Amino acid sequence: MSLKDQITDDMKAAMRAKDSERLGTIRLLTAAMKQKEVDERIELDDAAVIAIVDKMLKQRKDSIDAFEKAGRQDLADKEIAEVKVLQVYLPARLSADEVAAEVKAIVAELGAELGRSAGPGDMGKVMGAVKAKLAGKADMGQVSAAVKAALAG
């Protein structure tokens, strides 16, 4: 079963269970998926759905920070509940050590292609390669920090 089908089934289950909070979040996700399909005239695969979920999670986390700074814990709690629903659709995340190991391997591979060791000026090239390999598997903020550390060291 594709991730898109699973999300549709979960939406139906939330409707039957009258779970309005979960249903609202899943509807936001399906609306974002349909919007992407219509805009780009494509059928979404699991990787594209994961990218959408990742983007929505980042938006929620930014909102949580803003709401907490503004003293609106009620709104932050709503966003936290949405984060919990959305995280179900992501694959298992890599640990910090696994991310660092993947980044080091990619930096070494890129250095071999360039014929020199990769340095801080190669951040864009490394991030492009890392993003392609680790999309949906790791938090990109964590990945960026690992890339900076690998290129500096």
**Which pLDDT tens digit goes with each residue over 32-42?**
999 999 999 99
Task: Report yes or no: 30 and 4 within 8 Å, Cβ to Cβ.
Answer: no
Phi, psi for residue 86 in degrees, rounded to 5: -70, -35
Residue 126 banded pLDDT, cuts 50, 70, 90: confident
**Which pLDDT tens digit goes with each residue over 7-30?**
999 999 999 999 999 999 999 999
State the first-to-last Cα distance of the chain, in angstroms, to the nearest integer: 43
* pLDDT of 42: 92
* pLDDT of 108: 82
Angle at 102 between CA 33 and CA 56, to 5 degrees: 20
Q: Read out DSSP for 124-135?
A: HHHHHHHHHHHT
Q: What CATH number belongs to 96-152? A: 1.10.10.410
Cα distance between residue 36 and residue 49, in whole Å: 10
For the chain, the domains span 3-87, 96-152
Cα distance between residue 98 and residue 96, in whole Å: 5
Q: What CATH number belongs to 3-87? A: 1.10.1510.10
| pTM greater than 0.85 (yes/no) | no
Question: Is residue 62 pLDDT above 70, yes or no?
Answer: yes
Task: Report yes or no: 29 and 53 within 8 Å, Cβ to Cβ.
Answer: yes
